[in-house]
Structure 1
Amino acid sequence: MTKTKSNQTNKTNYVSTTNACKLCKPLGACIAFRGIENCVPYLHGSQGCATYMRRYIISHFREPIDIASSSLSEKHAVYGGGPNLKKGILNVMEKYEAKMVGIATTCLTETIGDDVPQFLYEFNEEFGDQGLPTLVNVATPSYSGTHMEGFHATVKAVIDQLVGKTDMNTIAIAPKTIIPNVNIIPGLVSPEDLRHLRDILEDFGIAGTILPDYSDTLDAPATDEYAKIPEGGTPVADIAQMHQAKATLEFGRVLAATGNTGGELLRDRHSVPHYALGLPIGLRECDRFFATLETTTGQPTPRKYTQRRGRLVDAYVDGHKYIFGKKAVVYGEEDLCVAITAFLAEIGVKPVLCASGGKSGHFQEAITAVTQELLREPPLVKEGFDFYEIAEEIEQLQPDLLIGTSKGYPLARKLQIPLLRVGFPIHDRFGGQRTLHLGYQGTQRLYDQLVNAVLEKKQADSPVGYGYL
């Protein structure tokens, strides 16, 4: 790794990144597109990008995923990739019979300046008589952001290009209720989280639209025959009617601070009330989520969730003596770090470092907002960090545990401290796609895992072993 010292600032200037604490922007777009019914993600760029992203996504979700590509070469870098883009869409139509193609650009096509909206306009003019799929495009050059920014940009592009643009039948509402539907834009959470959100909406008696919903497409049951496009995903017809919802609930404190979200677009363009919430992890953030559902629907929180809340409070009391005062380092995508930090602050664990590869400019203020009433000393907050820099900071902090993706395992192994795996990606453990993070139930799972990690470390370090703690 090349680095130099600046005489003026006395800071280390890194010429390169060592083991980035983020992923690339079009990868996030591919996951988001995968959460739409009968949609094929399509990368306008080189074949290598699609190959890398397929492999990376498969390793976490343990599901096959096809990502189409315009497969540009050196020639197209000079003359443009328009012809390959059009030819690739025709191939997707023939091979997959997709109802929607989600087109994301890569560094190559953004650098050479391909005008993708113009290419798609020309494509519709040339082949409009062939029953074309819905085409949605989003600009996602990796050099301009992280996988989370690509994910959020894709959700906003889908809302921008589909909502209110088609004339479709009203979304069917379950016979037991006439409550208008609610939109939930949850961000990049696990398939298990998405299923849990669907259960919550059903228990409230709400017909909800979750965008995107890859709970089935990226965690599908085994079938007798291979499906080129797995069943599931948010129906395009439902997306088109998101402007008729009673409200939009959008997760992400950092995302909200950017002022550039899909939920805000629905509010500004279609007057749909917008509630910006933190990811519902921990008592306080879960309480805000359920209180917002009560306000939006006029329905009380079902008893099963108040019972789960009560059991979580009881667990906090029971486990407090084991974890109070422990120090943790939290890393990964910004909004998940904020949610985990909020949870740690309320259970008595001291977050000493919150680090992310994102560069939103809002990470510090979001961490402050969720910790200032609970912590005597604020945690060190670093954005635009890689794992080399995280390791440098940790030398002085001496944490008791790490919380983040499996990319932090080498560091946890070196320090000989527990690693609680959350978020995306989890490559070195089985079932990452079934990890529940959200709600009282997800918080309970995380709390139990954290307390047991501390106890296991204590047992391992003890010469006796402690069979009873």
Structure 2
Amino acid sequence: MAIVVESEKACTVNPLKMSQPLGASYAAMGLDACMPVMHGSQGCTSFGLVLLVRHFKEAVPLQTTAMNEVTTILGGYENVETALLNIRKRAAPKIIVLCSTGLTETSGEDIVGHLAMVRKRKPELNDTELVYVSTPDYIGAFEDGYKHAITAIVKTLVKPLPTVHRQVNLLPGSHLSPGDIDELREIVGAFGLDPIVLPDVSGSLDGHVAPDWRGTTLGGTTLDQIRAAGASAFTIGVGEQTREAAQALETLAGTPFEIFERLTGLEPNDRLLQRLAQLSGRTVPAKYRRQRSQLLDAMLDGHFYTGGIKVALGAEPDLLLAIGSLLQEMGAELSVCVSTTTSASHALLPASEVMLGDLEDMARGASGCDLLVTHSHGRQMAARLGKPLMRVGFPVFDRLGNAHRCQIGYRGTMNLILEVANLMIEQITHHHPGDWALPQASVDLAAAIPRVK
């Protein structure tokens, strides 16, 4: 069990964490025909938009209420109303998710009251679902905003329905990529179960060339699917950040749930398949038995290169737990662990300490480590220390294919082990141009050997 300590610095030097409104907006992008809106200044929204576009290399819909100095002081009701009406007129979304920011939270606006008043004054908005998420960016982090968003979506849109026994809800954490969600959906479907993924960024941010551009999200969980989640027989959450939404589903619709703290590693995937076999009444498909065998072989091959290495990690809590636990199981030592926000996940991490800090805190303890694991903002640290960097999490803007990367399930875990092992192999077998030349004594000996004519 890791002890959680907070950095005592007066300011953040090299940020590790992203903001709550950005995390909530990301969750909204997993809903079909949705428009995420940040209730704050244009700068806040622009910064988040740039990170999302650079990470996914896709066009991303994200709007703002464009608060300024005057509206911040006098109140932003008119900005909210104007933004909602303009968005409905131009993009016609089925869902609008409004995320507050530190600006509007600090000024003390009654945003819930604003939305109720807009509904009364503008009946043309009645065909659009409005979801409000409180996400002040002066506290919490990306994972917190995502957690609050999926909980708000459940509480606002899900209603109890008669149970459909082969239907299950999947609540993926923000650390799961579109590729991870595709893998999870395939695993669940292999047992004859029908999953509703909430939210589903694999439909909207999976790197496909869309046939059109509507101005809203293209793909993801539909409004009908969200409402149908109240009929599911069971809910599976991936990551501690999904517990709050799973509990809301249980309260609203009586749906039992289980939270898997991670799906990276051998044992948690064994538990997942056992649970799916129990829910479906079917045996584990042969292909997953084969994948498990392949994972065991990769663990055997990889541990020669990961055993005994010292690792420095910087990530959101659930991702930190997933990557850190796997590396520890592969014989690595978690020497430095830095995270962004408080979470029950930290208690499960096999390390002595987790610091809530920034990348400067990570760099201070990483000089004696063999591998650095964090997002792309750690690249300067890696270059300065001369250490290999494995890029994980959000944002990763200097590599392609983030949407297709898979690190869960037996297959994804195997991919991750091989990636780490290959990084370490590269460090211990770094060749120079002269390494392949024969020594002079060998050249002289070869010249003295008689030639066969």
Q: TM-score, normalised by structure 1?
A: 0.87
Give how far 1:429 is off: 1.0
Corresponding residue number in structure 2 for 1:211: 198
2:359 is aligned to: 387
Change (3 A) 1:330 1:466: farther
Q: 1:293 to 1:465 in 2, by over 3 A?
A: farther
CA contact (8 A) 1:353 1:380 kept: no
Equivalent of 1:236 in 203, 217, 223: 223
Aligned to 1:187: 173
Instruction: Write the letter of the residue equivalent to 2:247.
Output: E
Out of 415, 431, 451, the position equivalent to 2:421 is: 451
Secondary structure of 1:275 counterpart: strand
Structure 1 unaligned segments of length 5 or more: list them.
1-10, 172-177, 372-378
Alignment deviations for residues 357-391 of structure 1 (CA, whole Å, 9 cap, x no partner): 2133x354121xxx3xxxxxxx3422321111111
Deviation at 1:463, TM superposition (A): 8.8
Look up the SS of the partner of 1:460 in the other structure.
coil
**What's the offset of the Cα at 1:424?**
1.5
The answer as to whether partners of 2:238 and 2:262 remain within 8 angstroms in 1 is: yes
1:73 aligns with 2:68: yes
- Counterparts of residues 61-460 of structure 1 (less than 5 Å): 61-129=56-124, 131-164=126-159, 179-188=165-174, 189-223=176-210, 225-253=212-240, 255=241, 261-360=244-343, 362-367=344-349, 371=350, 379-395=351-367, 398-460=368-430
Tell me how far apart the structure 2 counterparts of residues 24 and 423 of structure 1 sit (CA, whole Å). 14
Counterpart of 2:81, as a letter, is: K
- What is the letter of the counterpart of residue 354 of structure 2? K
Structure 1 residues 466, 200: CA separation in 2 closer, same or farther (over 3 Å shift)?
Answer: farther
| C-alpha distance in structure 2 between counterparts of 1:365 and 1:414, whole Å | 32
The amino acid across from 2:192 in the alignment is: G
Task: Give the partner amino acid of 1:199.
Answer: E
Separation in 1, partners of 2:64, 2:264: 37
Q: Amino acid of the residue matched to residue 95 of structure 1? A: R
The match for 1:374 is none
User: Is contact 2:39-2:104 (8 Å) kept?
Assistant: yes
Q: What amino acid sits opposite 1:36 in the alignment?
A: L
C-alpha distance in 2 between matches for 1:184 and 1:409 = 34
CA pair 162-130 structure 1, distance change in 2 beyond 3 A: closer
- How far does residue 423 in structure 1 lie from its aligned partner after superposition? 1.8
CA contact (8 A) 1:179 1:205 kept: no
Q: What does 1:23-42 correspond to in 2, within 5 Å?
A: 23-42=18-37
CA contact (8 A) 1:34 1:233 kept: yes
Kept in 2, the 8 Å contact 1:329–1:399? The answer is yes
* C-alpha displacement of 1:215: 1.1
CA contact (8 A) 2:313 2:362 kept: no
C-alpha offsets along residues 209-265 of structure 1, whole Å, 9 cap, x if unaligned?
111101121124224543422431101111112222111111114x37xxx610011
Cα root mean square deviation, aligned: 2.2
- Secondary structure, in 3 states, of the residue corresponding to 2:424? helix
Report the identity percentage. 30
> What one-letter code is carried by the residue in structure 2 that aligns with 1:295?
Q
Alpha-carbon distance in 2 for matches of 1:142, 1:221:
31
Structure 2 CA distance for aligned equivalents of residues 214 and 21 of structure 1: 23
One-letter amino acid of the counterpart of residue 89, structure 1 = L
- For residue 54 of structure 2, the aligned residue among 52, 55, 59 is 59
The alpha carbon displacement at 1:145 in A equals 0.6
**Larger RCO: Structure 1 or Structure 2 (Cα < 8 Å, ≥ 6 residues apart)?**
2
SS of the residue corresponding to residue 335 of structure 2 reads strand
With normalisation by structure 2, the TM-score equals 0.90
Preserved contact between residue 264 and residue 408 of structure 2 (Cα < 8 Å)? yes
CA offsets, 1:28-58, max 9 Å, x none? 0111001011100011111111111111100
Q: Indicate conservation of the 8 Å contact 2:237/2:260, yes or no.
A: yes
SS at match of 2:403: helix
The C-alpha deviation readout for 1:381-413, integer Å capped at 9, x for no partner, is: 223211111111223xx1111122122211211
State the one-letter code of the partner of 1:152. Answer: K
What amino acid maps onto 2:156 in structure 1?
Answer: Q
- Cα pair 1:216 1:230 within 8 Å, conserved: no
Number of residue equivalences: 431
- Per the alignment, residue 38 of structure 2 pairs with 43
* Residues 464 and 265 of structure 1, relative CA distance in 2, 3 Å threshold: farther
Cα displacement string for residues 80-112 of structure 1 (whole angstroms, at most 9, x for unaligned residues):
101110110000000101111000001111011
Kindly indicate whether the alpha-carbon contact (under 8 Å) linking 2:338 and 2:362 is maintained by their aligned counterparts in 1.
Answer: yes
Structure 2 residue identity aligned to 1:186? P
SS of the residue 2:413 aligns to: helix
Alignment deviations for residues 264-316 of structure 1 (CA, whole Å, 9 cap, x no partner): 11123322111011120011121122222222222222111111111010111
Shift of 1:346: 1.6
Aligned mates of 2:142, 2:7 — CA distance in 1: 26
User: Is the Cα–Cα contact under 8 Å of residues 197 and 221 in structure 2 kept in the other structure?
Assistant: yes
Matching residue's letter, 1:63: E
